[in-house]
Structure 1
Amino acid sequence: MRRFRTIRNVHERTIEAPAQAVGALLDRLSSPQDPIWPAPAWPPMRFDRPLGVGADGGHGFVRYRVTAHEPGRRIRFDFNPPMSGHHEFVIEPLAPERCLLRHTLQLQRRGPMAVSWALAVRWMHDTVVEEVFDNAARAATGTAVSPVRWSPWVRLLHRVTWPRATAGDLPTGARLVRAAFARTDYSDAWRMPMRPGMPRDPESWRGVLRGAPFPVVGREDGEVLLGEDAGHLDFRASIHADDGQVTLSTVVRIHNWRGRLYWAVVERVHPFMARTMLRRIHRRLALTAPSAAERAQPAPLSAARQGR
């Protein structure tokens, strides 16, 4: 029988707060008001039902299910096949106003997993867990002592693994861009999912067109329309945001042969530029968003995102 080596990774943090208080925060994992998971900088933890035994989901490409839940004390997640192993959070009381928060990961190292763990997954995993601990400390005590700082390698991994924009139709709710022209010679739409904590106001996303300061020609709930008219063609760009996704849409109306010639050249690079600009602002807004602990507080906590 072939035997596999086991990866074991343990993180611990002493928090100057009662175990009951920190346990209450842990029980809110994956909820809409999750105060400790480090989204939107990292993929949110999501399940097909409220947190409890049997809930199936995960974060990003890592899929798992809840196999044990002792409210206020422990949550265990078993990885879905083909992965084999588990990870869990445990809280241990140390004193009336002090507790230990521990995260343990055990994973069978098989084939490519050994290489990916050593080169990439381990470094991102360690950062995510330490950010969970930072948020637990902030939410429970108001501050995190020596918050985790991202290494240059983690920053590079984060940049290259950030999701790409995907193509789609003009959003149904983007009424301004849909009604921009009676006749449209070109249209496209690039979208990315919203993460918890990302701004829902489309004005916040206008930086997607940084370097191309087109004037605003229309505003409506959930949409900002920018554009410009010229003798050879007219152009409109829409930024539409709703609870699920943000979409950058483009429509073009061509007037004459000069417009057709111009657009024949621009059309070759436009899709690449549009999806690149959307991805860039999507990541920037995720990294500058308030932490989960800050969003959970009635008043802002002192910022502690210096390591990114």
Structure 2
Amino acid sequence: MRNVHERVLAAEIGRMAPLLDGLGGPDDRLWPSPEYEPLRLRGPVAPGVRGTNGPVRLHVSAYEPGRRVELTTEPGEAIEGRFVWEVEPVGPGRTRIRQISEGRLSGALRWLWPLVRPQHDHCIESMFDRAEVFLGLSSTPTPEPPLARAMARAVDAERARAVAVPETPLLATALPRVDFSDAHAVLARPGMPTDPQVWADALFHDPPSWVVGAMGLREALVGTVGIARSGESTFGTLARTDDEVLLGSDEGHLDFRASVLREPDRVVVSTVVQVHNARGRAYFAPVRLVHPMIVRAMLTRAAHRLSRRARENTEVGS
């Protein structure tokens, strides 16, 4: 496999140095995150520094400050090869940026490459788009091919998973007694919102359609047994800190709290419930079976939507 992309930019080569030298770092201005799995190096760019791109392990194999960065995959990866970013002057005030990916594919990747390549191509072209934005140049974002978008959803998308309930000040005093608790988390890529309220809004204001349908069924049933419909109660923000929002509602049958916690590299949604009576126990018995699936679906969707919104905001800024 050999894949080459290049673009000529109307800028002096010296202005490109921060882009290459910051590759894989906390302030990476070139890699298109959160849309794609971030490139993470365990230190400033220098020969021998190791890192990851999603599940792929790699290291810096060559480096010329401001001019060239070469990453090589570790032995045993599905692709054994190198990835190179380099810049060169091509005239007064003009610089060519080039990206080279080459190597030997093994395992399932040999057969999947035709499906993966559109996503790879779009990732690299999006890097060039970000370079233009960084340089203050006019940029038309590279359209995302439908196959690349489908692969991102199927392979590259972050999915929420069950985790231990974190100990936070807001959760510690959320309810007098906790009869049920669980937590789910999703990885938050660089560039995604850090405000927990933004995540809370994305979670509860735009759930998956099947969750909306399930809530509609709940609405149709609960009124018949004397439990308030959602239109008869509120589910709003009760308290917040810089990194956590606590939401909830109090009902005759049970009290419910949801914590949305923004940690440096993930978002955790925790649920705690206090059941008041037999009616609450009867109601919550079936709800607790589907609750984890619903929360994971809502959190996964929120991560996808906020990732997409982050890219759209970058495009508007261009």
TM-score by length of 2: 0.85
- Once the two structures are superposed, what CA deviation does each residue of 1:39-68 show, in whole Å capped at 9, x if it has no partner? 111121111221111011121122211100
Deviates more, 1:160-169 or 1:261-270: 160-169
- 2:44 corresponds to: 50
Residue 247 of structure 1 and its aligned partner are, at CA, apart by 0.9
- 2:223 corresponds to: none
Matches of residues 87-102 of structure 1 in structure 2 within 5 Å? 87-102=83-98
TM-score by length of 1: 0.88
Does 2:71 align with 1:77? yes
Give the aligned length.
Answer: 288
Does 2:98 align with 1:130? no
What is the root-mean-square deviation in Å for CA atoms of aligned residues?
1.9
Matches of residues 91-170 of structure 1 in structure 2 within 5 Å? 91-119=87-115, 121-144=116-139, 146-161=140-155, 162-170=157-165
Does 2:317 align with 1:303? yes
Higher relative contact order (CA 8 A, sep 6+): 1
Larger helix fraction of residues: 2
Alignment identity in percent? 39
Residue 163 of structure 1 and its aligned partner are, at CA, apart by 1.6
- 1:182 corresponds to: 176
Does 2:279 align with 1:258? yes
Matches of residues 229-244 of structure 1 in structure 2 within 5 Å? 229-244=250-265
Amino acid at match of 1:236: R
2:185/2:267 contact within 8 Å kept: yes
- 2:2 corresponds to: 8
Work out which of the residue numbers 282, 289, 297 in structure 2 matches 1:276: 297
Q: Secondary structure at the match of 2:135?
A: helix
Q: Any gaps of 5 or more consecutive residues in structure 1?
A: 1-6, 295-300
- 2:241 corresponds to: 220
1:67/1:77 contact within 8 Å kept: yes
- Once the two structures are superposed, what CA deviation does each residue of 1:5-43 show, in whole Å capped at 9, x if it has no partner? xx0111111111111211332111122221111111112
- Once the two structures are superposed, what CA deviation does each residue of 1:91-143 show, in whole Å capped at 9, x if it has no partner? 11101200111111111132422112122x21211111011111111112333
Residue 290 of structure 1 and its aligned partner are, at CA, apart by 5.6
CA distance in 2, matches of 1:24, 1:247: 33
CA distance in 2, matches of 1:159, 1:22: 32
1:135/1:291 contact within 8 Å kept: no
1:233/1:252 contact within 8 Å kept: yes
CA distance in 1, matches of 2:288, 2:186: 21
2:25/2:43 contact within 8 Å kept: no
2:35/2:308 contact within 8 Å kept: yes
Residue 291 of structure 1 and its aligned partner are, at CA, apart by 7.7
Instruction: Flag the 1:244–1:24 CA change in 2: closer, same or farther, 3 A.
Output: closer
CA distance in 1, matches of 2:244, 2:108: 44
Q: Any gaps of 5 or more consecutive residues in structure 2?
A: 208-229
